[in-house]
A and B are shown apart, each in its own frame.
Chain A
């Protein structure tokens, strides 16, 4: 346990080596929220509603997904493809540590880093833009939300491992990851709530693992998911499937690993 704690601390210290880099990354997170804020303000700022969403409810949703996004999608396991291609993977493989555990601990450090900065940024966003924020008081909704958040973190971790593992077969890991990023930007519900889509579009999206990263946890938090058990069950199903696929792909990939570059 001590060695993983050391990895956790070292990962956090790495962020503070290039401080300007760190500041730019945080400023970017604020801009992620600004564009949809202004779009919806121009459409709903004067009142009224679209698809049952008022300005207050859509901004609560977007504000919430911005916060959840930092926690769920803040990750260092995206480096896996580079680790394989550069031969750097050899180092954790030779050491008495589990590679998945190493990657997950680094992910947790990234999430703590993001969370601590969010606590500074949220008051700033609240002060300048005054988005209406809904604070959930129902304990069961909060517990279900935390459960869905935990599953979202694990689902994203396994998706990253699977896409990173493509480097065992191909040097071009950037192109599939770019495609994944584009799909996730839309299918996680980060651009707009998925229930704004026609019913068939929303149902199709819910069959993929992506809405369980942002959209479903946010709807559970807001108390707007009338099928919580089904949503959590589907998220769990995806989690098990992705865990199984990750192990299979990893085992097959390791047999091909040639430590090229080391």
Chain B
């Protein structure tokens, strides 16, 4: 992708996001407030679950209550960041059914870009800020400090996570093009993703392996947290970087295969 193209993509993305923000401010301020309340309440109840379970048991797979709370908060932060750009997947099935997807195909910019990134929810940006502070508090509460080096490693892990998350979303919308099923697949993805909110050690060796190397959910919290707790060798990230690259290439290949079968029968 040339530099010119990147600028065009950025300009279109900013325009689409600004339009969505204006639409939400104009039409659904009350709904936005309820949505934010719901998100914060969901985080609070998840923390309560950890508190109820680990507060009494003292340890969960070797992690203390404060460490488990930090993992949950970190998961919430990285998951929000990765979802922030990819909300378009929820609207994708409708776009295929009503024929809007045909316009994506005719557009000079990539149809994948429109399918995935054309709906960045500004509410996610709003809740991201309190989540950031809460995660910082969780880190201090667990008795750890953030050094420049560990911040860089976490940033690298977040980038790798994002690449894997994009790959999975491409796979999901590819299934949507081929079989007109997106809604339950994305919700199933979200259900499995929630497994990452807790230390992945609890899922046994096989679960831990799958959630680390196949799906990116261990990367969302347990692995960066382990690194901060001094239990993870960052050299293993080389393997994960290779897998992220492989998943992205495979998902794009699958997307192109599914596009061949697209009949445009809705429009």
Residues on A lying within 8 angstroms of B by beta carbon are 18, 20-21, 24-25, 27-28, 31-32, 34-35, 38-44, 50-51, 170-172, 174-176, 178-179, 181-183, 185-186, 191-192, 196-197
- A21, A31, A38, A181: the one within 8 Å of B192 (CB): A31
Contact assessment for A182 and B184 in the assembled complex, using a CB-CB cutoff below 8 Å: no
- B35, B179, B194: the one within 8 Å of A35 (CB): B194
Contact assessment for B53 and A186 in the assembled complex, using a CB-CB cutoff below 8 Å: no
Contact assessment for B60 and A39 in the assembled complex, using a CB-CB cutoff below 8 Å: yes
Chain B contacts for A21, CB-based, 8 A: 181, 183-184
Contact assessment for A50 and B32 in the assembled complex, using a CB-CB cutoff below 8 Å: no
Q: Is the interface of A mostly helix, strand, loop or mixed?
A: helix
- A38, A40, A175: the one within 8 Å of B35 (CB): A175
Chain B contacts for A40, CB-based, 8 A: 53
- A18, A25, A43, A176: the one within 8 Å of B60 (CB): A43
Query: Is B100's CB within 8 Å of the partner chain A?
Result: no
Query: Is B246's CB within 8 Å of the partner chain A?
Result: no
- A34, A42, A179, A197: the one within 8 Å of B34 (CB): A179
Per-residue CB contact flags for chain B residues 6-37 toward chain A (1 = under 8 Å, else 0) read 00000000000000000000011011101101
Contact assessment for A172 and B60 in the assembled complex, using a CB-CB cutoff below 8 Å: no
Chain A contacts for B32, CB-based, 8 A: 175
Count of A-B contacts with CB under 8 A?
99
A44 to chain B, nearest CB (A): 7
- Complexed CA–CA distance, A25 and B192 (Å): 13
6 nearest A-B residue pairs (beta carbon): A24-B184, A172-B31, A175-B31, A42-B202, A175-B34, A179-B38
Query: Is B57's CB within 8 Å of the partner chain A?
Result: yes
Q: Which of B34-58 contact A (CB under 8 A)?
A: 34-35, 37-38, 41-42, 45, 48-49, 52-54, 56-57
Chain B contacts for A35, CB-based, 8 A: 191, 194-195, 198
Chain A contacts for B57, CB-based, 8 A: 43-44, 50
A204 to chain B, nearest CB (A): 13
- A42, A43, A182: the one within 8 Å of B42 (CB): A182
- Complexed CA–CA distance, A181 and B198 (Å): 21
Contact assessment for B30 and A186 in the assembled complex, using a CB-CB cutoff below 8 Å: no
Q: Which residue of the partner chain B has the closest CB to A20? A: B181
- Complexed CA–CA distance, A39 and B63 (Å): 12
Q: Which residue of the partner chain B has the closest CB to A40? A: B53
Contact assessment for A176 and B34 in the assembled complex, using a CB-CB cutoff below 8 Å: yes
Q: Assess A38 versus B203: contact at CB under 8 Å? Given A24-B181, A43-B53, A178-B35.
A: yes
Q: Which residue of the partner chain A has the closest CB to B190? A: A28
A32 to chain B, nearest CB (A): 7
Query: Is B130's CB within 8 Å of the partner chain A?
Result: no
B189 to chain A, nearest CB (A): 10
- Complexed CA–CA distance, A228 and B204 (Å): 40
Most interface-central of A32, A34, A172 (chain B CB within 10 A): A172
Q: Which residue of the partner chain A has the closest CB to B184? A: A24
Query: Is B83's CB within 8 Å of the partner chain A?
Result: no
Contact assessment for B48 and A186 in the assembled complex, using a CB-CB cutoff below 8 Å: yes
Query: Is B188's CB within 8 Å of the partner chain A?
Result: yes
21 pairs of residues in contact across A and B, judged by CB atoms under 8 Å: A18-B180, A18-B181, A20-B175, A20-B181, A21-B183, A24-B185, A25-B184, A34-B195, A35-B195, A35-B198, A39-B202, A42-B60, A42-B202, A43-B57, A43-B60, A44-B57, A172-B31, A174-B31, A178-B34, A182-B42, A182-B45
Chain A contacts for B256, CB-based, 8 A: none
- A175, A179, A181, A197: the one within 8 Å of B52 (CB): A197
Query: Is B99's CB within 8 Å of the partner chain A?
Result: no
Q: Which residue of the partner chain B has the closest CB to A27? A: B188
Q: Which residue of the partner chain A has the closest CB to B183? A: A21
- Complexed CA–CA distance, A192 and B191 (Å): 17
Query: Is B187's CB within 8 Å of the partner chain A?
Result: yes
- Complexed CA–CA distance, A129 and B19 (Å): 49
Q: Assess A50 versus B184: contact at CB under 8 Å? Given A20-B179, A178-B35.
A: no
Q: Which of B56-96 contact A (CB under 8 A)?
A: 56-57, 60-61
Q: Which residue of the partner chain A has the closest CB to B34? A: A175
A250 to chain B, nearest CB (A): 22
Contact assessment for B53 and A182 in the assembled complex, using a CB-CB cutoff below 8 Å: no
Chain B contacts for A192, CB-based, 8 A: 49, 52-53
Additional A-B contacts beyond A24-B185, A35-B198 (4; CB < 8 A): A18-B180, A20-B185, A24-B181, A28-B191
B184 to chain A, nearest CB (A): 3
Contact assessment for B185 and A43 in the assembled complex, using a CB-CB cutoff below 8 Å: no
Contact assessment for B188 and A172 in the assembled complex, using a CB-CB cutoff below 8 Å: no
Per-residue CB contact flags for chain B residues 97-125 toward chain A (1 = under 8 Å, else 0) read 00000000000000000000000000000
Query: Is B234's CB within 8 Å of the partner chain A?
Result: no
